[in-house]
Chain A
Amino acid sequence: MSGRGIIAYIFAAAVFVAAAPASGVVALDAVKGAQVWFVENHSVPVVAMTAALPAGSVYDPSDKAGMASLAAALLEEGAGSVGPGAFRAALADHAIRLNVRPGRDYVEISLLVLPQDAEAAFRLLGAALTRPRFESDAITRQRLRAMQIIDQAKSDPTWVSWNGFHSLYFGPHPYGHPVEGDVQGLVTITREDMHAFVARHWVRGGMKIAVAGDVTAAQAKILLKKAFATLPGGSPTPPPPPGFVGAPGLHVLPLDVIQPDAIFALPGFRRGDPDYLAGTIANLILGGGENSRLGRELRVERGLTYDVSTELLTYARAGVMVGKIQAKPKAMRQALSVVRDTLRKFALGGPTAKEYADAKLYLSGSFPLAFASNEGIADQLVGLMEAGLPAGYVARHGRLIDAVSYEDVRRAARRLYASDRITLVVAGTLPPEKKSSNPYRQ
């Protein structure tokens, strides 16, 4: 191919047929009540597992925010007759990478391990889940660390704006408090509270598990049984969806920082919304992509920010269109006004034909990239399960994106961005609003 040929190739509307990634996804019947997907691949000697338990912060008791997170942090603090020190040593002896990520709906747990240590890894995880010790010393240790993290985060404008937005947008609903909880909640949590919480939430029912790597299906089943079979059945009832949501208007959460962070939010789509995929295309064009409209207007053209982006947050019981931006205090009002103009213009005019075509090419073409490692495969598959999709979705994603029409995206953009009831949350300090601009100030 000559250089000129390539240039033509860059600018021609490339027809892109992406290969389906991780094509060998199979559902396993390994843990009663749980959904399990499996991908076998023996070319690199690792076993990756990700599991999502219905144990996120949405289930925190109302006066004990931080319960879900604290329980998750205690996973490294021993099990059964094995104390905190010995448990950590066992993880290290087998070079087990155990990663715990608490979220609002789920807590995600992942393992990455060499095949010869997989048995130990799943056994240790199983013990930690089914026979937690919750020693008072360990609870104190993890509680103090959690309280420090929250304490320090209170002067971090990124954390304050994100959690301030949740609080304003969801109000008293349990989506409204930080995943990490709050100091008042953390101090009241007792050992009995922890046992009661995990009995209801560290359960097989509603659990999503994916295993990928150097292991056969038969071996994977044995490993999974080791970790999860003796967990209680049943699954918790999530709280009802939030009723009225949103807090239209500008909210300033004062912080003495050099540069404020801001969140802008509007009601979004739930994952089951028929316009959801069209919405992801609209989002990519507006603020989700490498060269989105917001990026162009605010960063490339005006240099107002380093980073502006939007996403469609899909919690199990709520969907939100949420954007983030940072700008220096003097520039923040201008930045937010450009954001609002850009949203309005997109809602009214929809995407250009080229934006629509390019966004679809990106979304179908980039899908396989996340499946390049076993760890990535396990994470992606659990994400799809959390979204309520079937195993066959992996192979169908490209075609489904392809089937979204221009009119679908236009409608989705209108539904997402037309409202003027935008919630704006700024963490930092803004100079007072001026009626007329002062020519001597920048």
Chain B
Amino acid sequence: MDVKFERLALGFVAALTLLVSSSAGAAEPALSPRPFQFVLQNGLQVVVVPDRRAPVVSQMLWFKTGAADDPPGLSGMAHFFEHMMFRGTKSVPGEGFLHAIARNGGEANAFTTHDTTVFFERIAKDRLRLAMHLEADRMQHLELTDAGVATERDVVLAERRQRIDNDPEAEISEQAAAALHLSHPYGRPVIGWADEVRRIGRAEAEDYYRRHFAPNNAILVVVGDVSPDEVRAQAEAEYGQFPARELLARAEYAQPPRLGETRLAIVHRNVKVPYFLRLYRVPSYAQASLGRAEALEVLAHLLGGDHNAVLYRRLVLERRIATDVAVGYDGYARDAGVFSISARPRPGVGLETLERAIDEIVGYYLGHQPARADLVRAKKQLVAETVFRQDNPFETASVFGRTLAVGLTVQDVTQWPQRIQAMSGEAVRKAASALVKREAVTATLSPGR
């Protein structure tokens, strides 16, 4: 039901990639339906991936604007605006958008990250034109009202209470991210601070719309039972009728140097199980030299991608000091990426003991290559994940969108499996050198009043 969600700063995001480029001539032939790419005259980038298995399509429209573009004092604007996009245009007023999609057997939703605002529909293939028409219409003709803005603000505040304020682990993630990024806007929560969300008014929202929503600031991804020519013709007719517009350039924020580790200890009345969280500011795909982000991906997977990973084995199975541990690398960002480790201690084990053990193991990989079996396994799993995602048209569309939205290319998607496959133990060791305390926030959650 119309769930609007946002990425939290702590993303346990597995590798998201799926296709083996046919031009790369690799040994996995059947793995790759070919992505097609073109640009409309108004600057709208388009990616099409035919998938003929079912008579349905997934359309995603990725705007290259997100919470990092929230105006000063109005954190949460991008996410709030994502909500407003469902509140009607001149020709499709009120709840007409969702209504039209639903009565045509489709589903629609949206989400916001620090760098992107994304709208999507899943619908029968002969209704793709309708979905495009509705998206193009609200890209250009949204009509805001004071009453609509005021009501939606309350909705977003209720969403914030539900997702963050009622969940201590979400709260500590938000606090740790704020500490990690210093003054960079990645430290502001996507959903916004409640006091700033309350200040968003219609005029500010309209400004935001004018500055960021235009065809030349968007990427259209269509995956499903359609040909690239069909998509091109329909996209030209619907999105192509609106001219490119001059946009407000994204403010370039410094990523101030971190001179030391930040430690954060939260004692919370609703915490029953202690929790350890470590975030490192690391290079993203957009920042890293070729292969370095992929190496962080491999490192995260082999350290904590599943219940066979190094940290799980050592801490849960062997030393029996944790009940659960997870590691993630969130590298799809225009600025810094985040490498995260989280764990829960076994009853009776102190968080300090757990932290010491984690540091010992992570520290080992700064100086040593991973064991060959672990490396081979992690690579095999990551490459298999790309095939599993290929099974799902929506995930396929997501991978292309998130990759292109941060300034990478279709080739970065299609060549990803080979880059993973080629990864050496030495490259993983080098990537591990990003995991230094100077770049880290260590946060703990403990029971209390």
Identify the A interface with B (CB < 8 A): 1, 3, 6-7, 9-11, 14, 16, 18-19, 21-22, 41, 43-46, 48, 76, 84-85, 88-89, 91-93, 95, 97, 112, 114, 117, 141, 144-145, 148, 151-152, 154-158, 213, 255-259, 287-292, 295-296, 299-309, 326-328, 357-358, 361-362, 364-369, 371-376
Q: Determine whether the beta carbon of A9 is less than 8 Å from that of B105.
A: no
Q: Determine whether the beta carbon of B53 is less than 8 Å from that of A372.
A: yes
Q: Determine whether the beta carbon of B346 is less than 8 Å from that of A144.
A: yes
Q: Which residues of the partner chain A approach B392 to less than 8 Å between Cβ atoms? A: 372-373, 375-376
Given A91-B308, A358-B102, the answer on whether A326 and B161 have CB atoms closer than 8 Å is yes
B223, closest chain A residue (CB): A372
Q: Determine whether the beta carbon of A365 is less than 8 Å from that of B124.
A: yes
Q: Determine whether the beta carbon of A309 is less than 8 Å from that of B107.
A: no
Q: How far is the CB of B366 from chain A (nearest CB, A)?
A: 24
Given A290-B102, A303-B153, A368-B54, the answer on whether A148 and B161 have CB atoms closer than 8 Å is no
Q: Which residues of the partner chain B approach A327 to less than 8 Å between Cβ atoms? A: 158
Q: How far is the CB of A16 from chain B (nearest CB, A)?
A: 6
Q: Which residues of the partner chain A approach B388 to less than 8 Å between Cβ atoms? A: 46, 97, 112, 375
Q: Determine whether the beta carbon of A305 is less than 8 Å from that of B105.
A: no
Q: Which residues of the partner chain A approach B52 to less than 8 Å between Cβ atoms? A: 43
Shortest 6 CB-CB contacts between residues of A and residues of B: A365-B105, A303-B154, A95-B384, A303-B151, A306-B159, A259-B161
Of the candidates A3, A95, A369, A373, the one whose C-beta lies within 8 Å of that of B381 is A95
Q: Which residues of the partner chain B approach A302 to less than 8 Å between Cβ atoms? A: 151
A-B contact pairs, 7 of them (CB 8 A): A76-B307, A95-B384, A155-B270, A258-B161, A296-B95, A301-B151, A373-B392
Given A89-B308, A156-B166, the answer on whether A43 and B53 have CB atoms closer than 8 Å is yes
Q: Which residues of the partner chain B approach A92 to less than 8 Å between Cβ atoms? A: 306, 308, 377, 381
Q: Determine whether the beta carbon of B2 is less than 8 Å from that of A258.
A: no
Q: Determine whether the beta carbon of B391 is less than 8 Å from that of A289.
A: no
B53, closest chain A residue (CB): A43
Complex CA distance for A337 and B316, rounded to whole angstroms: 48
| B130 interface hit (Cβ, 8 Å) | yes
Q: How far is the CB of A142 from chain B (nearest CB, A)?
A: 9
Q: Which residues of the partner chain A approach B393 to less than 8 Å between Cβ atoms? A: 372-373
Number of A-B residue pairs at CB separation under 8 A: 226
Given A46-B387, A144-B323, A375-B392, the answer on whether A6 and B130 have CB atoms closer than 8 Å is yes
Q: How far is the CB of A106 from chain B (nearest CB, A)?
A: 23
16 additional A-B residue pairs with CB within 8 Å, beyond A76-B307, A366-B107, A368-B124? A1-B237, A18-B124, A22-B54, A43-B53, A89-B308, A92-B377, A152-B273, A259-B158, A288-B1, A290-B2, A291-B2, A295-B1, A306-B158, A307-B1, A372-B58, A372-B224
Given A1-B129, A306-B155, the answer on whether A46 and B102 have CB atoms closer than 8 Å is no
Q: How far is the CB of A42 from chain B (nearest CB, A)?
A: 8
Interface range on chain B: under 10, 10 to 19, 20 to 34, or 35 or more?
Answer: 35 or more
Q: Which residues of the partner chain A approach B152 to less than 8 Å between Cβ atoms? A: 303
Q: How far is the CB of A378 from chain B (nearest CB, A)?
A: 11
Q: Which residues of the partner chain A approach B105 to less than 8 Å between Cβ atoms? A: 16, 18, 361-362, 364-369
Q: Which residues of the partner chain B approach A367 to less than 8 Å between Cβ atoms? A: 105
Given A6-B130, A7-B91, A9-B130, the answer on whether A358 and B161 have CB atoms closer than 8 Å is no
Q: Mark B308-326, 1 if CB is under 8 A from A, else 0.
A: 1000010011001001100
| B198 interface hit (Cβ, 8 Å) | no
Complex CA distance for A89 and B306, rounded to whole angstroms: 10
Complex CA distance for A299 and B224, rounded to whole angstroms: 33
Of the candidates A19, A21, A45, A372, the one whose C-beta lies within 8 Å of that of B30 is A45
Q: How far is the CB of A130 from chain B (nearest CB, A)?
A: 21
Complex CA distance for A308 and B1, rounded to whole angstroms: 8
Q: Determine whether the beta carbon of B158 is less than 8 Å from that of A10.
A: no
Q: How far is the CB of B349 from chain A (nearest CB, A)?
A: 11
| B269 interface hit (Cβ, 8 Å) | yes
Q: Determine whether the beta carbon of A291 is less than 8 Å from that of B102.
A: yes
Q: Determine whether the beta carbon of A307 is less than 8 Å from that of B270.
A: no
Complex CA distance for A288 and B107, rounded to whole angstroms: 13
Complex CA distance for A46 and B103, rounded to whole angstroms: 33
Q: How far is the CB of B292 from chain A (nearest CB, A)?
A: 24
Q: Determine whether the beta carbon of B317 is less than 8 Å from that of A85.
A: yes
Q: Which residues of the partner chain A approach B153 to less than 8 Å between Cβ atoms? A: 303
Q: Mark B83-108, 1 if CB is under 8 A from A, else 0.
A: 00000000110011011111111111
Q: How far is the CB of A150 from chain B (nearest CB, A)?
A: 9
Q: Which residues of the partner chain A approach B96 to less than 8 Å between Cβ atoms? A: 10
| B296 interface hit (Cβ, 8 Å) | no
Q: Which residues of the partner chain B approach A256 to less than 8 Å between Cβ atoms? A: 269-270
Q: Mark B20-56, 1 if CB is under 8 A from A, else 0.
A: 0000000000110000000000000000000111111
Q: How far is the CB of A47 from chain B (nearest CB, A)?
A: 10
Of the candidates B1, B54, B165, the one whose C-beta lies within 8 Å of that of A372 is B54
Q: Determine whether the beta carbon of B104 is less than 8 Å from that of A303.
A: no
Complex CA distance for A41 and B390, rounded to whole angstroms: 14
| B256 interface hit (Cβ, 8 Å) | no
Q: Which residues of the partner chain A approach B67 to less than 8 Å between Cβ atoms? A: none
Q: Determine whether the beta carbon of B107 is less than 8 Å from that of A369.
A: yes
Q: Determine whether the beta carbon of A306 is less than 8 Å from that of B95.
A: no
Q: How far is the CB of A366 from chain B (nearest CB, A)?
A: 5
Q: Determine whether the beta carbon of B272 is less than 8 Å from that of A45.
A: no
Q: Determine whether the beta carbon of A292 is less than 8 Å from that of B1.
A: yes
| B203 interface hit (Cβ, 8 Å) | no
Q: Determine whether the beta carbon of B91 is less than 8 Å from that of A366.
A: no
Q: How far is the CB of B34 from chain A (nearest CB, A)?
A: 13
Q: How far is the CB of B107 from chain A (nearest CB, A)?
A: 6
Q: Determine whether the beta carbon of A366 is less than 8 Å from that of B106.
A: yes
B380, closest chain A residue (CB): A95
Complex CA distance for A114 and B391, rounded to whole angstroms: 11
| B344 interface hit (Cβ, 8 Å) | yes
Q: Which residues of the partner chain B approach A364 to less than 8 Å between Cβ atoms? A: 105
Chain B residues 239 to 279 lying within 8 A of chain A, measured CB to CB, are 241, 269-273
Q: Determine whether the beta carbon of A307 is less than 8 Å from that of B162.
A: yes
Q: Determine whether the beta carbon of A44 is less than 8 Å from that of B390.
A: yes
Q: Determine whether the beta carbon of A6 is less than 8 Å from that of B133.
A: yes
A86, closest chain B residue (CB): B308
Q: Which residues of the partner chain A approach B123 to less than 8 Å between Cβ atoms? A: 369
- Highest count of chain A CB atoms <10 Å: which of B31, B323, B393: B323
Q: Which residues of the partner chain A approach B346 to less than 8 Å between Cβ atoms? A: 144
| B281 interface hit (Cβ, 8 Å) | no
Complex CA distance for A24 and B241, rounded to whole angstroms: 41
